[in-house]
Amino acid sequence: MEDWNIAPEVSSKADDQSGAADHQLRSRLRVVFVGGNGLRAGWSLLLYLLMMAAIVAVGAWLGQSFEVGGLWPQMLGEAGVLAAALIPAAVMARIEKRPWGVYGLPLRQAFSKLFCVGAIWGFFGITLLLEILHGMHTFDFGHVVLHGAKIIKFAGFWGIVFLLVGLFEEFFVRGYTQFTLARGMGFWPAAVLLSSVFGAAHLQNRGESWTGAVAAGFIGLFFCLTLRRTGSLWFAVGFHAAWDWGESFFYSVPDSGQVSPGHLLSSSFHGARWITGGTVGPEGSVFCFLVIALAWVAFERKYPARDTTVPE
């Protein structure tokens, strides 16, 4: 009769061992994927980038199915990549159980005073750079080449395009990506890494130079400072959009070697490439670094270091 109990005892021990093994496996997997602050930064960023790549691929496929003439493809393209950056971040916010504002674009600050101040700084920055070149007799503003309703039409069109550009580039590089990498390596190491990538990415633009790419990297670091001090990207978005709009439409100079159609002036450069930036545009000028440095110092004084909380 005693032998009848052997099988149940063996089965019970086997179940206990199997349960212990399963628990150990789950514990190991949890250590690999989950840390003290939830899903580990590397896995979060990988998941975000995979979702973004999938949306971009779908958008490219849809774009091939519709033919749109004129300049509209550029605007639609910028809107598409912006959506591809925002949608995965919204999904990750639910997964990570974080408020949207921690990723740098708190909705309550959308197009608020901070954005407007950033836009003023951005337009003043590109104006100062071109005034320096004009004072050195290497840049001429030319004359107005648009008239009537076309001025309003193209000013509005490029205003929307560069707002989309500013939102996409700031959020993708210094929004979710910056926040997530900072969780793993700290704010400034992440900022230096991403600003370097941001600058190097400009070399993919036709007509870009190493000087312009390095300048873009330093501008990226400046934007990281504005994020650190204000707790949001809205200043940087305003600055970025206004700088690009002033550069490409208002002052009608090249941006990474490209001149935007429908620009306002017949401006021109003449002189040494290291001064003017040549066909690259003013971002390829050594004096761009001077303007960035002045912006950095001015921002340091206007927005001194303090404890910053990011609103939801």
10 Å CB burial of residue 86 (0-12, 13-18, 19+) is buried
SS3 44: helix
pLDDT at 29 over 50: no
Check: CB of residue 248 under 8 Å from CB of residue 260: yes
Express each pLDDT in 156-174 by its tens digit.
Answer: 999 999 999 999 999 999 9
Q: Is 32 left (phi over 0), alpha (psi -120 to 50) or beta?
A: alpha
Polymer length of the chain: 312
Express each pLDDT in 253-276 by its tens digit.
Answer: 998 888 999 999 999 999 999 999
Contacts of 205 (CB under 8 A, 6+ apart): 256, 257, 258
pLDDT for 176 equals: 97
> What is the mean predicted confidence (pLDDT) over 95-113?
94
Q: Which two tokens stand for residue 218?
A: 């330093």
Could you tell me the residue ranges of all domains in the chain? 20-302
- Rounded alpha-carbon distances, angstroms, from residue 102 to 27, 186, 188, 308: 29, 15, 16, 11
Number of other CB atoms surrounding residue 65 within 10 Å? 6
pLDDT > 70 fraction of the chain, expressed in percent and rounded: 85
